[in-house]
């Protein structure tokens, strides 16, 4: 019996008749039925928050669709229609419920993992791939034909790529309409619409009201005393925010990032605009509050997408726990840190530089070295937050830079220059269209970057859930007996069964140890310490 079945077993007496379950099953594709229909019925009756955004329910009588946690009583069972995504519901002519706001659900994590091609295409769509290009261009970037891509989208999501993109834009715009005082024209621009007429048409078609009517219906909007724009991003519980910020705190690049007062802050650059963001947990609901200070609004959607990647808001803890908890090594770690995410990054090149500089160094030494690089070659910026003073250097800034000014010499300097040249020339990218194997191969083409470090970069910069930095000493210590690290080859062998969630397994393993500034690793219970021998592992990357 699965974890979900066990959790919902006490509701089985309220399960829908099998005929209705069969009817429901006929309305979703096989690729979207990771959970059995009876379990979805139980989730619906119990209003289980863990299923929020995993599927949507429409009422055939009213043509309105809801989240499974909607507080309003649902229609009769024989009037319910089931959808794998919000876009599929809207393509069928259903409008979002005004009470539970389906567009505010924590993404649609059921999408991720159903198809590697669909997952990569979705990320490219969120990055604006269909704003300037078409489906044929998108299909080419993920390595399939346009017809095949459309078929995969319909199979896994119940809707086409174009409809998914429009739904994403409209839902983002509705969030801005109802939670901010931005002018409607600026909201249309920030949501990727080039025509106000098209924007009004799509909002009315999907939401049943015009943008002006949506804003009027919200009532009085409390103005904030803070500068900037505040946007709420829903996240799927459980969400271990304390563990996430504690992971980011010692790795924060001086001058670029800060973790203080339970919040994450950093400078940002999008297009020609510079500013900063502040992210903290919501006070009353499973959400993150994102404050953005940035001139203009045309890049807001890109900023929000990057924030979602930094905090891994697309993760589905339910599926990850189901995949990993059956392994004895991982079960107690999963129980200790429910909802632990794999932290992403604002920029892939930035993370790659940190990984290169962090090889064979402690976290403290690595961040100090990175801070010197920023002070010497980063662009100074003005922000309202003390301590945020620079943007991270671009690849162009470092191609021919005399990095010895920052204390970077020898092989480390050569690797850094090679990395900067590869990214600046376009030989190496951190694009969502790459598979894990392609990403590892491309990163390893840089002299001085080993396979394990490439896995670490892919794990955080590309959001690859199956990346596994097998040479990290902390990770190998967690896998060893009595704190003695296993060999990298043994770590890979053990982790083979954990696919496709090896990155999450790595985070849980490394959460079991802490790093001391003198290079020691110790168990969190303090009973044993293990001195690291740098020669034992030629590549470390400060994962733990």
Round the CA-based radius of gyration of the chain to a whole number and report it: 24
Eight-state DSSP code of residue 162: H
| CB 96, CB 76: distance < 8 Å | no
Give me the catalytic one of 48, 66, 235, 297: 66
66 classed as catalytic: yes
Eight-state DSSP code of residue 104: G
| CB 26, CB 49: distance < 8 Å | no
Q: Select from 36, 28, 47 the least CA-distant residue to 5.
A: 36
Tokens linked to 35? 């959970």
Task: Count, in order, helices (H) and strands (E) of the chain.
Answer: 25, 12
CA distance to 117, 156, 173, 274, per residue, from 149 (Å): 8, 11, 26, 36
347 classed as catalytic: no
Give the span between the Cα atoms of 468 and 458, in whole angstroms: 9
Give me the catalytic one of 100, 207, 472, 510: 472
Give the span between the Cα atoms of 10 and 468, in whole angstroms: 38
Q: How many residues does the chain have?
A: 544
CA dihedral sign, ordered 43, 49, 50, 51 = positive
CA distance to 349, 409, 415, 423, per residue, from 426 (Å): 12, 25, 17, 5
Whether the bond into 203 is cis, omega within 30 of 0: no
Give the span between the Cα atoms of 22 and 139, in whole angstroms: 34
CA dihedral sign, ordered 390, 391, 393, 397 = negative
Give the span between the Cα atoms of 4 and 320, in whole angstroms: 12
Give the span between the Cα atoms of 80 and 87, in whole angstroms: 17
Catalytic residue numbers read: 66, 472
């Amino acid at each position: 019996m699965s974890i979900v079945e066990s959790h919902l077993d006490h509701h089985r007496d309220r399960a829908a008749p099998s005929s209705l379950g069969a009817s429901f099953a006929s309305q979703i594709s096989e690729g979207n039925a990771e959970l059995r229909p009876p379990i979805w019925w139980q989730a619906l009756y119990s209003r289980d928050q863990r299923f929020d955004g995993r599927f949507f329910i429409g009422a055939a009588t009213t043509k309105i669709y809801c989240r499974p946690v909607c507080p309003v009583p649902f229609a009769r069972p024989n009037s319910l229609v089931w959808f794998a995504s919000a876009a599929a519901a809207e393509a069928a002519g259903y409008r979002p419920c005004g009470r539970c706001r389906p567009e505010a659900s924590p993404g649609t994590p059921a999408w991720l993992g159903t198809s590697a091609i669909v997952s990569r295409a979705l990320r490219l769509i969120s990055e604006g791939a269909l704003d300037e290009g078409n489906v044929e261009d998108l299909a080419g970037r993920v390595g399939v034909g346009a017809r095949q891509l459309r078929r995969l989208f319909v199979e896994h999501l119940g809707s086409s790529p174009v409809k998914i993109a429009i739904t994403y834009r409209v839902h983002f715009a509705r969030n801005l309409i109802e939670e901010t005082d931005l002018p409607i024209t600026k909201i249309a621009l920030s949501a990727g619409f080039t025509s106000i007429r098209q924007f009004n048409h799509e909002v009315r078609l999907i939401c049943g009201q015009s943008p002006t009517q949506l804003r009027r219906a919200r009532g009085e909007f409390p103005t904030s005393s803070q500068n900037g724009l505040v946007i709420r991003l829903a996240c799927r519980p459980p969400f271990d925010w304390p563990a996430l910020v504690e992971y980011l705190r010692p790795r924060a690049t001086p001058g670029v990032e800060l973790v203080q007062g339970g919040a994450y802050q950093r400078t940002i650059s999008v297009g020609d605009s510079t500013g900063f963001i502040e992210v903290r947990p919501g006070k009353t609901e499973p959400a993150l509050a994102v404050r953005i200070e940035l001139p203009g609004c045309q890049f807001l959607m890109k900023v929000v997408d990057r924030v979602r990647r930094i905090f891994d808001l697309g993760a589905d803890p339910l599926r990850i726990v189901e995949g990993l908890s059956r392994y004895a090594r991982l079960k107690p770690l999963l129980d200790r840190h429910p909802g632990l995410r794999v932290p992403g990054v604002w920029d892939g090149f930035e993370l790659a530089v940190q990984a290169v500089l962090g090889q064979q160094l402690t976290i403290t030494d690595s961040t100090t070295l990175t801070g010197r690089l920023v002070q010497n070659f980063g662009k100074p910026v003005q922000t309202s937050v003390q301590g945020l003073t620079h943007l991270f250097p671009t690849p162009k800034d470092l191609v021919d830079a005399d990095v010895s000014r920052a204390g970077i010499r020898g092989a480390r300097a050569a690797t850094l220059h090679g990395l900067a040249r590869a990214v600046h020339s376009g030989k190496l990218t951190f694009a969502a269209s790459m598979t894990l194997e392609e990403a590892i191969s491309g990163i390893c083409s840089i002299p001085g970057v080993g396979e394990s470090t490439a896995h670490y970069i892919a794990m955080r910069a590309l959001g690859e859930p199956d990346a596994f930095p097998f040479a990290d000493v902390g990770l190998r210590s967690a896998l060893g007996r009595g704190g003695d690290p296993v060999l990298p080859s043994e770590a890979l062998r053990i982790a083979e069964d954990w696919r496709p969630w090896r990155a999450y397994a790595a985070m849980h393993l490394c959460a079991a140890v802490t790093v001391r500034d003198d290079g020691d690793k110790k168990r969190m219970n303090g009973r044993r310490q293990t001195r690291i021998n740098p020669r034992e592992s030629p590549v470390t990357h400060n994962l733990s």
